[in-house]
Each structure stands twice: as structure tokens, then as C-alpha cells.
Structure 1
Amino acid sequence: RGGGLMMLGGVDSFQAGGYDDTPLEDVLPVYLRTRRQEKSAAARYRLTREGKLEPWLRLRPNESEENQRVQHMPDFFTWNVVSEIKPGASELASLESPDGQQPGLVTHRFGKGRGVALMVGDFWRWSMRRQDPQTDDLAQSWRQIARWLTTDVPRRVEIDVEPPADPLAPFHLMITVRDPAFLPLDNARVELTVSEPDGGEITATAAPHPRQPGVYTLDYWCREDGGYRCRVDVVLPDGQTLDPVESGWTAQPSAREFARVVPDLEQLSSLAKASGGQMVAPDELDRFVAQLPTRKVPVTETRVEPLWHRPWLLLIALGCLCAEWGLRRWKGMP
């Protein structure tokens, strides 16, 4: 399902708490196979090279200030000893004491979630006797750790927007729906409401995936450049509605013109034939220019003339006048 598990050091943690050979040991990134050892001195908390690269462990904007911050951290007197870290785990901090160096903060991926082992039990000492009472590094560190542990936790409804490789193709939307046990859920009605850049909304229904249970798909064609916003509403078979999920993407359909920069000779040839022109290859340009003075080029000229200036209209008028005079004379009319 995902999520995160973090175990802190202390007298009732790790092997001292009897967690060896338990399901929790499988989730932890360290082995609990060593005998309990007495600590003869305090330990210093130091970030490893890999730990300095993790943004959720850094509290200062640059490396020099971060090193200075770690140097000012107090000594810790409650910490646990572990035998070794598991394969694939990352040691992000170490504990240095006169007895040697051992892992202090270890993480690894477990299933779809994360497991964290912090061997320090009196981490609260970090917040005591602060140089600046307005700055609480311990509180900020706990917030960042908690956010990192829960960021990638899957939800019951998730949407994945896959942009097309070809500008002429649609965006592929995949919606994953899970039941309360976080197993794939079929027979749900998945409706999407897409807000387009011009302010209009389009409603569509996603279709179940033919091979993946609990997955619903929809191909969406973008007509305008700009940002698109999508809201997903899921109605379960029993009529219950889950919390809507929103996502978005940007599209640029106008880039279709530049999708192919190679000249389309067939299209150009048909266009020239339809318009009475000629398609000229680059190596024939000189000969084409030399033939221009002797080529017959049709000239189209637009002329505007009053209708009353037409000779045939004057003849019609004179004919009507003569016809009228003849009829009057024939009938004896004045």
C-alpha cells in the first residue's frame, strides 16, 4: 500500500525493545543481530556524503552553512547499536564516538513505502540551548522528515497524465481507483471535467482498461494552446462518491506545424499543379530564373466600370424608346 515507518532510538527500541525476528524488523533498513552494548561516551551526529544530497535533511541554503549547523549540534547520550544496514539501504547519517562509528540514520524502500531507522533516542537535545530562540531546527527537521515519509503515499484515486510524443496524438490519461483495502476496484464510474484555456469545460467518461484491473483510461485531444485543468470524480458501484482529484497539463497544438521539418514534396507538387504553378528543385533555380523573361505569365487585372457606360445598355434604352413610340403611333395614342 505504501506509507512510511520510522523507528527512533531508545532503551525500548530496536533490539533492546525485542523487535528482532518480528515483522517490524523486515520493514526496518537495518539488521538487529548484535548484542546489546553499553555506550561509554556520547556520540556526535554527522551527515554522510549521501545524506548531504538529500533535500529533506538540509536546513541551510548552502553547504558551508549546513556543515556549520551540523558542527553545532549537541552530543547525544541515548543511541542504539545495530549490526549492519540491509542491502539497498542508504546510510544518510552516522554516529561518531570514541568506540567507533556506526549508522545513525538509515533509509530504504520497502514495497511502495519507506522505512527509516534513527538510532538516536534523545534527539530533543538538539532543540535545547539554541543560539537563536526564533529558529528551531529540530521542529523544521521533523516537519521535513514527516513530509518526506508521506509524500508518495498512494491515494484511493490517482491520475497519471502521459503527454504524447507526437504533437498530432492525444494526451493519455490513466486513472487508478482502489477500494478501502487499497486493492484495484472495478465497476466504478469515472467522470472527468476538463477546463480548457478559453474557459470552457468538457465532460467525459473514462473507460476501464482491458488488461489492468482498477485502471481507467481516456485519450484527450487538445485544440488550443495553454493550460488544461482536470477534475476526476469517481462514483463507486454502491453510489458512494470519493473525494475528487485534480491534475493538469499544458499543450501546444500549434507546434504540429514544426513536427516535421522535412519538405513534403508530394504535397508541394499537388499544390503547384492545382494553382497552375510549377515546383522547382534547388538545383534548377538558375535555369528557372533565366527562363522568366520569355515565359508567358497570366496577368489578372481588376477593373471597375459604371454599368451606364456600357454600349449595349444604351442600345437597349434606345430600342425601348423606339418601341414605345411605334406602339403609340399604331394605336393612335398621342
Structure 2
Amino acid sequence: MIHWEPFYPAAVYVAIIAAVIGLLVIASRVATSRRARSPLVLALRGAALGCLILLLLNPVDRRETVLPPRQPSVAILVDCSQSMVLGQYEPRIERVKRIVAGSARAAKSSGTPKLHLFRFGKRLAKAAETGALTASDDTTDLASALERLPSRTFGEDLRAVVVFSDGAIDTMDRTLSAATAYRRNGLPLHCFTPVDDQLRGDLAIEQLVVPSRVTPGSKAIVRASIHNRGFDNERVLVSVRSASRPHELALAKLPLTLSEGTNLCELPIPVDDAAGDLVLEIPTLTGEAIGSNNQVPFRLPIRDRRIKVFYMEGTAGTEYTFLRDALQEDPNTSCVSAVVNNQYAQRPTIQRVDDPYRGFPSTRKELFQYDVVICSDIPRSSFTPEQIEWTVDLVNRRGGGFVMVGGHTSFGSGGWDQTPWDGLIPFDMAGRRDYLNQTFQVEVPAAARSHPIMTLLDDPQKNTLALQSMPRFFGTNVIARVKPAATLLGQSGSRLSGIGVMPVLACESFGRGRTFAMATDTTAYWGRDFERRWGEGDNRYYRKFWRNVVGWLSENSYASQQRLIIHTDRVLYAPGDPIEVSVEAFDENAEPTTAYRVTAQLRSVDPSRTETGSETAPESATELEINQSLQRYEGSLDAALSGQERDPSAVMQPVELHVTLWRQDEAVSRGVVELQLVEQAEEWLRPNARPDKLRQICEASGGKMIDDEGQLRRLLSTFQPTRGEVLVHTLPQWDRSFLWALFVGLLGTEWVVRRRGN
């Protein structure tokens, strides 16, 4: 379509037209020839001048193109600071994720608006989906997020910003300034707060100090610091309980009336060898933000060099007492005895003699407190697959010992060749699932008589006689052979029916630990004389034999190596706090020494982590200094983990302090102390939501508070696409050929007419 876009104002064109008309009139009057004054010539001249005026009016061809409607967009900003994991019944972040996901589905089904999801805390970042929203940042910097958002949404038809936060916002002044700027640009900020009206505050155990050393039978004073926010004048009961037996009576209790801020308390705890892991706890109150910081596990540092044995006996009655009493005759050995309930049932259970409600250790950590495990005629169905694997790890990685004693449910007849224990046992059990009820003597080979297990007496001749006096046995499991790497300690003195001479006693090294196997039984029926009559009118050689077995098996055990006593100034640390460490080291004769090198390293708790066997200290380990006057090592290291090991979403994270004793580049002994990292950032110390701050932000930007998901969906539905942008294309017409042809034609015609008239 032709439009006119004149170069000059209309008055100029009027003046030009008037001037042209005046010139034509003057020309007609002053012309000397009759033809020059003719109306035709004047008309042709006027037409030519009219073409020039037409070109000066700048004719253009104008066309319009309407683009498609523009999709509106809304930015969703989700607070991913640590305080968003709080909540009475549901973490705040989970509630926000649920609402955002529902609103996103509704917007997608309706086709409008387009949602842009961002997370903010320390910094603003695009989130592909709600699953990427984790509350891990230690600050809530909404101001920086609002300042950076325009560059992240450039080119979008941004209509509004919706902020999901609990209101624990830093730099409020900057945030309000940014909100005001958004208002000037016509972009409102709407806010949603996951408010929990039941949330009143929080209690947290922030410090725990345990004595550096305690002795059994005494009382240990444990000091704790409890931080209170929001529960002023409430009365709570602070208690210490056994971690493995939480339903038993508390070892110590202290009623405490809370005051705002820090509350100090002391609890006297009776020291017991069997106490094990303990836990200091305060009850979780109604309206409390975080429950996980109300409990702190710890352990009293009882110095104990005794070898710890877990002994399981399948023979019914009191048969277990023979072996147990033999071990406990040595004051440096403690033995936990257990029997099997209904040995031949489909799923028999193991019960400890002193505590029938407990059986085989239920955790890897509990099992690793023992040096030696003795399994005497126990069905494999009494164990879980995990317990079997833990036992392998106890020997292979922790240097512990393992014993299997014969019986109807032992070795191949018990199906143990189909379990990981097959690797532990020094006998080859493959294909042998039977046993014999046949009387035989055990013969100790000459080469084995000097082995530590078979050394009953110091005098070699007397020792040989003692070994030769070993009573007869009345049955045995059938064993194929001794494994190539094992040591044969005893074999049948005569040929057994259908078998020949068969190995009966053997031992071997396995990984860092050691194992021992006895094909026959140590109790009635097969070993009834062995347990009662091997001695000089008593069973002294029997008792010495089993003490030798346990002593040899436990020589490399981490649990029995009390070469290190480790003490820290407390149990709880905030990230970055200094951990003051002191270590007492002992030589092979249990004498205090400073002749070694000692390193300490803080690591996260990882059950799957295994010792690498490295003979050099890691670069991140801290070397402790020697204090000669106190005969110990001292040092300090930061309570800090690497980024991969740190769990920023945890209020309280268990960690391990690994201490290693080095002789040049050889690791002589290792020790581990469990500590706790307690997050004390402001994000955790401000548990209550602050909707008042978000309301100020909404008012400053011209937005409003959103109360629920339905209100958010209604808000999003108001954003409709805008009419597409109109693109105008103009094409000048002054250079059209027909206009210039007309102009030239008029001039030529005027010339011809005028010449012919002359």
C-alpha cells in the first residue's frame, strides 16, 4: 500500500505549488510566440513540474508483518539455604518443591506462562527440575539473586518473580533496594513462606566434654552445654543411656529448667567395662525445629588391654563353660559366651549367656570391638549374610582372629563351604558333607610342636609328652585336605574309615589376621575327654591350649592393640574449630614411649571405606609434636572436612579422628576416636520463619504474599500472551521507472509541441 512520507512540512509544498502556478502564469504572459502561450504547452509544463512535486512528497510502499503472540514468563526463586530443611512435620524445602512441581504441571498443561526455576542461597543458579533443589547453602543472599536475575532472563517477557523462602534473609537493606528497582520496572515480586505455626524454637547440645581417662568402678563426670531458643522456663530431663540398649534405665539423669541461651550441666556416670557406646540426650519438645541435635553419642575412654573374644557354642547345656573358663583364667582376656537356641531349627537364634536378648553383634562397629570370634558347631542360618561378611572383614582388614570347631553343623556338613567363611577356614571342605563317629587319637607333627599354639610347656621334651597325652576323640567332620598356605598342627594318628589319615588341627594367615580350625569338637560328645582330662589329673593342658589359640590369633588385631591412648578436648566441634589432640603411645612392652612418629587426620564416617595398607602418611594428616615432660604427643587440627566429605544439609555429622603410630614408614598401630561436627551457622540458629521480612519485600516491589498452591496457580493463570510485535517494511517509490518515464515524456512532448508551433 502506497503511503506518503514527505521530506518537508506541508507549508513548503503549498508554497512550491503556488510558485509553480505563478511561474506558469508569468510564462504564459511573457511568451513571444503564440504556441508558447497555448494551454497545451502550459499544461504539459505544469504536469512535468507536478511530477517533480510528487517525487518530493516521497511516496513509499508500506507493508506490515505481525509476529506470533509472545509467551509470558515467570521466574521462580527457591531459597536453598540450610534453614529450609527445618520443619515440624515436613521439611520446608520439600513443601516448596511439591508446590512448585504442582504449579509447573498446571502451567505446562495450560501452555502459559513459561516458568524459569532458579535456586539461591550463596549464589543464583538455574535449576533444571525441582529434584536439583537441595538446602545446603549457609547463607540467604536474596539481594544478589535479584540483582543477577535480569541478565539470566534477558529476552524473555518476564511478568513477575515468585520467591519461595522462610524469610531468614541476609542484607535486608540491599534486598529492599532491589525490590524497589523491580517496582520501577513494573516487575512485582510475589513471596511464599512455608510457615509452620507449631514451630517454637530449638534445643541443641552444643558442647560435650568427656574425661580423658576413667577406670572401671569409678564415676565419670560428663559436662554438657545445651543451647536453648524459644523454650525459656521449660523443664527437661537430661540423661545418659546405653546406645545399644536404649530401653534400659538411664545411667544418669538430671532435671534442668531451661533459660534462654546456654545452659550448663554435669552428669556423674558409673564406669562399667561393658557399657560400650553411650548417648547423651534431651527429649524433643513439641514445636522444636530440629530433633537430630538432641542426641550425641560418645564413649568413655576406658583403658583396656585385654583380648576380647566372642565365643559361640552349639552344644546344649553348660558345655560352653569349659572353654570360657579356660580363656578367662587369663586376666588379660575377656570372653563373651553365647549359645544357640534350638540348634537344628530352620532359623536358630544365638543368645548371649549374660544377656539372652542379645546375640551375635548386630553392627560392623560392634563386631570390630572383638579380637577373636570362635564358632563351635553353629548353623549358618543363625547368621545374616552381612554378619558373615563382617567376620571376614574383621580378619582380613582388622587383623582379627577366627576359629571354627567341628560338629554336625560345622565345615562341609554345615554347608560352610558355600559361604565367604570358606576362604577363612584353613581346611579344604569342597565336596565333603559328612562326618564320622569313630574313635581316634590326634598326632602332632614334629614340625608343629614348637608352634605357639602347640607350646603348652617351656621344656620341649615335656611339651612333647603333654601333646602325646592328648585324649582320644570320638568323632570328627570329614576334611579333604589342608589348604596349601595353611600349617598342619595335628592329624589323626591312625587311618579313619574310608578316608585314611586326615588333618584335624590347622591354622593360617588370612589378610591381616589369622584363623584356626579344629575338625573335631571341643565339647561332648566327640570331645568329652578332651575338655575334661587333658592335663595332669585335670584339664590344665586343655585350658593352656585354648589360651594359646586366642593369643596367637589376636596378635595383629586392631582391637587388642592398645598402643595408643587418644584424647580430645571435647566431643562436639563447630566446623573450623581447633581440635586439641593428645596421644599417649606404648611400645611392645606396654611402656610409655615417644620414640615413634604420630599423625592425626579427620575423616568422615564411611563404613565402605577400607584401609589401603599404605605405608606413608597422607599429605592431609597433621603430625603431632612430642611433649617429653608429659611423655605424650600433642597437636591441633581444624575440625573441617573436604567438600566431598562434608554434608552441608546435616545439623550434626559424625566424623572420625584417625591417629596412626609410625616407625619410620611402617604403620605400627592405629586408633580411631569418634567426634561430632555441629553446624552452628546462623541458618540453624534462626529456626523460625520470618514472613514479615518477605511482606516488606512484596510491598516494596508492588507484589503480594501467596498463601497456598491454589493462590499461586490463580496468579500464574492471569499471565496471558501479548499481541505479537508488528514489523513494518517500507520501500521508496521515487526511483520507479514509470515516474521518470512520465516526467521525461512530458518534457519531450512539451518540446515537440513547442517546436512545431514555431
Return the TM-score normalized by structure 2: 0.25
* 1:56 to 2:450 alignment: no
Corresponding residue of 1:126:
530
Distance in 2, Cα, partners of 1:110 & 1:206: 37
Corresponding residue of 2:484:
87
The number of equivalent residue pairs is 215
* 1:238 to 2:238 alignment: no
Is this contact kept in 2: 1:41–1:98, CA < 8 A? no
Corresponding residue of 1:204:
634
Corresponding residue of 2:471:
74
> What letter is aligned with 1:150?
S
Is this contact kept in 2: 1:190–1:233, CA < 8 A? no
Question: What's the offset of the Cα at 1:34?
Answer: 3.5
Distance in 1, Cα, partners of 2:661 & 2:437: 61
> What letter is aligned with 1:173?
R
Is this contact kept in 2: 1:42–1:77, CA < 8 A? yes
Q: How does 1:9-20 map to 2 (within 5 A)?
A: 9-20=406-417
Question: What's the offset of the Cα at 1:151?
Answer: 2.4
Looking at both structures, which has the greater relative contact order when contacts are Cα pairs under 8 Å and sequence separation is at least 6?
2
Distance in 1, Cα, partners of 2:485 & 2:502: 17
* 1:147 to 2:547 alignment: no
**Structure 1 outlier segments of 4+, above 3 Å:** 34-41, 129-135, 155-162, 174-196, 200-204, 213-220, 232-237
Is this contact kept in 1: 2:598–2:659, CA < 8 A? yes
Distance in 1, Cα, partners of 2:671 & 2:481: 47
Is this contact kept in 2: 1:194–1:203, CA < 8 A? yes
Q: 1:233 to 1:153 in 2, by over 3 A?
A: closer
Return the TM-score normalized by structure 1: 0.52
The DSSP-based 3-state class of the residue aligned with 1:238 is strand
Counterpart pick for 2:421 among 9, 14, 24:
24
Distance in 2, Cα, partners of 1:219 & 1:27: 30
Distance in 2, Cα, partners of 1:219 & 1:113: 20
Question: What's the offset of the Cα at 1:35?
Answer: 3.5
Distance in 2, Cα, partners of 1:40 & 1:201: 60
Structure 1: gaps spanning 5 or more residues: 163-169, 221-231, 241-334
Distance in 2, Cα, partners of 1:236 & 1:45: 47
Corresponding residue of 2:597:
173
Is this contact kept in 1: 2:428–2:479, CA < 8 A? yes
Is this contact kept in 1: 2:442–2:491, CA < 8 A? yes
Is this contact kept in 2: 1:95–1:102, CA < 8 A? yes
Is this contact kept in 1: 2:469–2:534, CA < 8 A? no
Is this contact kept in 2: 1:190–1:206, CA < 8 A? no
Distance in 1, Cα, partners of 2:663 & 2:406: 50
Please list the CA deviations of residues 161-197 of structure 1 after superposition, one character each: whole Å capped at 9, or x if unmatched: 99xxxxxxx955145778684746988877566445x
Distance in 2, Cα, partners of 1:81 & 1:238: 51
Is this contact kept in 2: 1:43–1:75, CA < 8 A? yes
Q: 1:15 to 1:116 in 2, by over 3 A?
A: same
> What letter is aligned with 2:512?
K
Question: What's the offset of the Cα at 1:56?
Answer: 2.8
Is this contact kept in 2: 1:56–1:148, CA < 8 A? yes
Distance in 2, Cα, partners of 1:95 & 1:219: 44
Is this contact kept in 2: 1:94–1:104, CA < 8 A? yes
Question: What's the offset of the Cα at 1:202?
Answer: 6.5
Question: What's the offset of the Cα at 1:59?
Answer: 0.9
Question: What's the offset of the Cα at 1:53?
Answer: 1.9
The DSSP-based 3-state class of the residue aligned with 1:20 is helix
Question: What's the offset of the Cα at 1:41?
Answer: 3.6
Distance in 2, Cα, partners of 1:79 & 1:18: 15
Distance in 1, Cα, partners of 2:586 & 2:419: 40
Q: 1:180 to 1:75 in 2, by over 3 A?
A: farther
Structure 2: gaps spanning 5 or more residues: 1-396, 565-584, 588-593, 612-616, 639-656, 665-669, 679-758
Is this contact kept in 2: 1:206–1:218, CA < 8 A? no
